[in-house]
Amino acid sequence: MFETLQDRLGGIFDKLTGRGALSEADVDTAMREVRRALIEADVALEVVRAFVEQVRERAIGKEVIKSVTPGQMVVKIVNDAIVDMLGKDPEPLNLKAAPPVPILMVGLQGSGKTTTTAKIAKRLLERDKKKVIMASLDTNRPAAQEQLAILGEQISVDTLPIVKGEDPATITKRAMSEARKGGYDVVMLDTAGRLFIDEELMAEVQAIRDIAKPAETLLVADALTGQDAVNLARSFDEQVGISGLVLTRIDGDGRGGAALSMRAVTGKPIKLLGTGEKLDGLEDFHPERIASRILGMGDVVSLVEKAAQTIDHDKAAKMAARMKKGVFDLEDLADQLKQMQKMGGMSGLMGMMPGLGKMKKQLEEADLDNSVLKRQLAIISSMTPKEKRNPKLMNASRKKRVAKGSGVEVQEINRLLKMHIQMAGMMKKMGKGKGGLLGKMMGMGGGAGMPSPEEMEKMQAELAQMDPDSVPPELKELASGKIPKMPAGMPGMGGGMPGLPGLGGKGGLPGLGGGGGFKGLPGFAKKKK
């Protein structure tokens, strides 16, 4: 997400933070480069101008020039300005209305409107415990109504029965009537799209809006279209009136022009981000977290939330009980590796960690997520139940058999077993109540649940202070395009990545119990004040 812009801005601010003092000329040079980077990212010109002027005005002030760390002060000013540009506070879906609450989905054809409708319905059902019904009002596109019905079956959400020959207005009336009769909390109305905006499309959407009187009118726009998405939002708002936006394909958007321009140009908030084709690929839009990602400061809060959402609580409870007894076998390790895959794999986790965003691309290119994690799971799957429960049984002949069965070298078996020993030690500590917040998050501290918002904010603040220049040598090699043979901070390659579930090793993230500094990765330290 926004990798190109992140790299450009990272290079600019690296020059600033490396200097002991900043002159007005230094700031002007940096702002010219920032301006160029934002324009290349397809951010609206009027937004770029306002942004650069705001940052420059603050950056040449006394608070920066006389600061002990002027470069870092400029980065903070830029971070605050990006947050302002994106809208400061997140704006969740408005469900404060008498049920059934209508949510109207609008947008052009091909933007992912129908899939997004299903994603939101799934989210409302599972997270908010709402009773939801979906209705397709698209009578133009072949099989559009059937597509929504199939998606409804996949996510266990009811859909309005299809009646051939009905027009969109009639379907809307029937959907609202059925929703009231069935005691539904929310009714999702998926409108028809067009290849471009025309009078017929707008007239149809306006008629549906007048019938349904939606609490939310969400425009679904493709983030990859850049300023076209912004212009689209402006047109829909003028003619129909939208309450918010959902940007799809945001995971493939390296520039970020649409996201950064949308709020400033239209005045409408981005409410949700589509982060993949899977039906759980939907995230709340948090301006502060997006700004942190763009500036390479990571997003540990989203990381913790993702862990909490993907974890199997029954398995976590069983593991907690086993850990209290000091038990952590290879079956438990396999569960941790699967958990890591669910959270987006190694590259997904690194993209949310301060100073490691640059390595995400290298990891993806090297296919480490698929190759390493799959090989580790294959190794464990090739063992007998007895060997999984008691790894000490793995002598030379057993290792050869497992290596042959899983298609790897014996050395990889040895590395996996070494990682297991390291993780077992860490898990035993957690079982004794020393796991801090990580233990709570994983349900290992006696089922204490997810860290509080205050605790997660503390984690983000501490991570943001980390010195990106103190990246371990192995990871620096990785970032430069060299794939080291055994980077110590990666699972299955020597030492795991301590401090995160499924990643093994010692220590923990700051605020997760286990001391200060960024102990989750070897070699990291906070900036000296």
Helix axes 357-366, 3-17, angle to 10 degrees: 140
The 3-class SS string of 430-467 reads HHHHHCHHHHHHCCCCCCCCCCCHHHHHHHHHHHHCEC
Confidence of residue 431 (pLDDT cuts 50, 70, 90): low
Provide the pLDDT for residue 3.
Answer: 73
Longest dimension (CA), the chain: 75
CATH of 302-479, one of 1.10.260.30, 3.40.50.720, 3.40.50.1980, 3.30.230.30: 1.10.260.30
- Could you tell me which residue, 149 or 329, shows the higher pLDDT? 149
Q: Average pLDDT for residues 32-57, to the nearest whole number? A: 90
Write down the pLDDT at residue 13.
Answer: 79
Span 216-225, pLDDT tens digits: 999 999 888 8
∠ Cα 218 224 226 (to 5°) = 80
pLDDT in tens, 498-520: 333 333 333 333 333 333 333 33
Is the predicted pLDDT of residue 364 greater than 90, yes or no? Answer: no
Going from the C-alpha of 147 to that of each of 135, 138, 152, 394, the distances in angstroms are 11, 10, 9, 51
Question: Helix, strand or coil for residue 180?
Answer: helix
Burial class of residue 161 (count of CB atoms within 10 Å of its CB; 0-12, 13-18, 19+): exposed
- Most confident range (mean pLDDT) of 347-356, 432-441, 494-503 is 347-356
The mean per-residue pLDDT over the stretch 48-70 comes to 77
Sign of the dihedral through C-alpha 174, 176, 181, 186:
positive
Unique residue bearing structure tokens 């003028």: 238
pLDDT of residue 520: 36
- Give percent of the chain with pLDDT exceeding 70: 67
Place of tokens 């086993």: 322
Q: Is the peptide bond before 491 cis (omega within 30 degrees of 0)?
A: no
Q: Which residue has the higher pLDDT, 529 or 9?
A: 9
Q: Which two tokens stand for residue 486?
A: 């055994």
More confident residue, 25 or 36: 36
Topology agreement, domain 101-295 and domain 302-479? no
CB atoms within 10 A of CB 367: 11
- Does the pLDDT value for residue 370 go beyond 70? no
| Topology at the third CATH level for domain 101-295 | Rossmann fold (3.40.50)
Return the pLDDT at 344: 62
Q: Band of the pLDDT at 459, cuts 50, 70, 90?
A: low
> Whole-number mean pLDDT of the chain?
75
Most confident of 76-90, 155-169, 225-239: 155-169
Sign, CA torsion 319/324/329/334:
positive
* 369 token code pair: 């997520």
pLDDT at position 26:
81
pLDDT at 440 over 60: no
Residues 6+ apart with CB under 8 A from 469: none
* pLDDT computed for residue 357 by the predictor: 53
Q: Read off the pLDDT band of 338 (50, 70, 90).
A: confident
C-beta of residue 125 within 8 angstroms of C-beta of residue 155: yes
Residue 304 confidence (pLDDT) above 70: no
3-state SS assignment for residue 45: helix
275-281: Cβ within 8 A, 24+ apart: 275/1, 275/250, 275/251, 276/251, 277/115, 279/115, 279/118, 279/119, 279/122, 279/151, 279/154, 279/155, 280/119, 280/122, 281/119, 281/251
Q: Tell whether the model's pLDDT for residue 474 goes beyond 60.
A: no
Distance CA 412, CA 503 (A): 16
Q: Kindly tell me if the per-residue pLDDT of 136 is higher than 90.
A: yes
Q: List, for residues 180-218, the tens digit of each pLDDT value.
A: 999 999 999 999 987 888 888 889 999 999 999 999 999
Residue 158 three-state SS: strand
pLDDT of residue 360 exceeding 70, the answer is no
Residue 129 has pLDDT above 70, yes or no: yes
Give the model confidence (pLDDT) of 251-283 as tens digits.
877 788 888 888 888 889 999 999 888 898 898
Q: Is the pLDDT of residue 461 over 60?
A: no
Report the pLDDT value the prediction gives residue 420, as an integer from 0 to 100: 84
Average pLDDT over residues 343-354: 60
Kindly indicate the confidence band of residue 470, based on its pLDDT and cuts at 50, 70 and 90.
Answer: very low
Residues 3-86: name the CATH superfamily.
Answer: SRP54, nucleotide-binding domain (1.20.120.140)
Predicted pLDDT of residue 120 = 95
Residue 343 pLDDT: 66
Question: Residue 414 pLDDT > 80, yes or no?
Answer: yes
pLDDT of residue 428: 67
Residue with tokens 């493709």: 222
* Domain spans in the chain, listed from the N-terminal domain onward: 3-86, 101-295, 302-479
Look at residue 429 in the predicted model and tell me its pLDDT. Answer: 65
